[in-house]
Structure 1
């Protein structure tokens, strides 16, 4: 331990003497950390108003430590995770499928709304699961090295794990072949991921959903029959498209960097 500084030096340090050079002040500070007797001299050298302030601060800090922080009230309904952030859109997707089943049962002469809606049912939840607007941890996420295709696929599979059972129930309830609702659904999901490397997954998903609604759903309802792309023999084409788009996702993996992002 260094030798104790002179009492007058400690007094000047306590008083904040501007004439005390930096080197001497640093030496006093370093010594005070390991010398209780000099710290006692420092307390005696402090003027009464300052000492009173220090005492009040010490009492306040001690009281706060003794009481501790108030317990955080946890809300069991608080939305967390991918499903929590996508929950409103998952509810929308489920509601659309249930409405499609209802319309198909009530109006059997209309083209199958289940087949028309199934391809785009998961797109809005996928967009919500990979959007910076719905992800409070976005800034933390973009700083991690695993923020690319692997994370996107995990989030997409989480969404599909919720949406596909609803589609399966709707398809079973209306008697449609699984290939006619499953393959278009997977094809559009893969298409949103592949196109997302260029324009962002959220934009791609919303754009594809809007294009399908305007180009297929509305015209099919207007003319009263399903288009050829949803006919009984269309599933091989959907299978080929799904495979090609899945391969494109792998090739464009470098362009998927972050939620809401696109090619870097």
Structure 2
């Protein structure tokens, strides 16, 4: 097939225009890190308010068991659930098709949520005089449990179920008995450490062997 001079000129002009546009156009999009969505920020604020109330009540009512230790395990569940849920992330359809979608994104978002909550817990623990392991290990264990169960139910549902279960089975009975349960004392540190390690391992294995998709 032959191309006449006029057609060749049109093709060359079009190619030159495309090349010029590519040269002067915007560069590759920068990889964006996760930032809290509009519904994640209120949950972070709710976690902060929860810890503030726990500190105030513990300081005011000495007869009560430590409310800071009682709520520390479930404090990170609110932002963790919001950080990995199709119901709270308006861009989930876009990120679900991204090449890095899955385990890596799940871990990055979880670390972002923990980075916002753990300093609040550290401050609350310092004000009330509790050793860091007493609140940090349960906090990490419940976060790992939410991730491990998330492959079955969705991280947000797993976090909600864990929070409700802890409140009903541990927090309410402890307040009623005016006594801190044995699992929140120093003797329970090794058990919490072992449980946390196992749960994180389970979460990683489940995420590697199946798609991690917000539900």
TM superposition score category, shorter chain reference: 0.7 to 0.9
**SS in structure 2 at match of 1:90:** helix
The aligned counterpart of 1:48 is: none
C-alpha contact (below 8 Å) 1:122/1:163 kept by paired residues: yes
Query: What RMSD over aligned residues (CA atoms) do the two structures have, in Å?
Result: 2.0
**SS in structure 2 at match of 1:233:** helix
Deviations 1:181-223 (A, max 9, x none): 0000000000100111111111111110111011111111111
Give the TM-score, by structure 2 length.
Answer: 0.82
Separation in 2, partners of 1:165, 1:150: 23
Q: How does 1:109-258 map to 2 (within 5 A)?
A: 109-253=63-207, 254-258=209-213
- Unaligned stretches of 5+ residues in structure 2: 12-32
C-alpha contact (below 8 Å) 1:82/1:129 kept by paired residues: no
Separation in 2, partners of 1:97, 1:238: 21
The aligned counterpart of 2:214 is: 259
**SS in structure 2 at match of 1:234:** helix
- Cα shift at 1:256: 4.4
Separation in 2, partners of 1:121, 1:171: 13
| 1:96 to 2:55 alignment | no
C-alpha contact (below 8 Å) 2:37/2:88 kept by paired residues: no
- Cα shift at 1:124: 1.1
- Cα shift at 1:120: 0.5
Deviations 1:128-171 (A, max 9, x none): 00010111111111112321111000000000001000000000
Count of residue pairs brought into register by the alignment: 188
Using CA pairs under 8 Å that are at least 6 residues apart, name the structure with larger relative contact order, 1 or 2. Answer: 2
- Cα shift at 1:249: 1.1
Separation in 2, partners of 1:168, 1:104: 15
C-alpha contact (below 8 Å) 1:90/1:125 kept by paired residues: yes
C-alpha contact (below 8 Å) 1:196/1:256 kept by paired residues: no
Give the TM-score, by structure 1 length.
Answer: 0.67
The aligned counterpart of 2:22 is: none
Q: How does 1:34-113 map to 2 (within 5 A)?
A: 81-85=34-38, 86-113=40-67
C-alpha contact (below 8 Å) 2:74/2:142 kept by paired residues: yes
**SS in structure 1 at match of 2:35:** helix
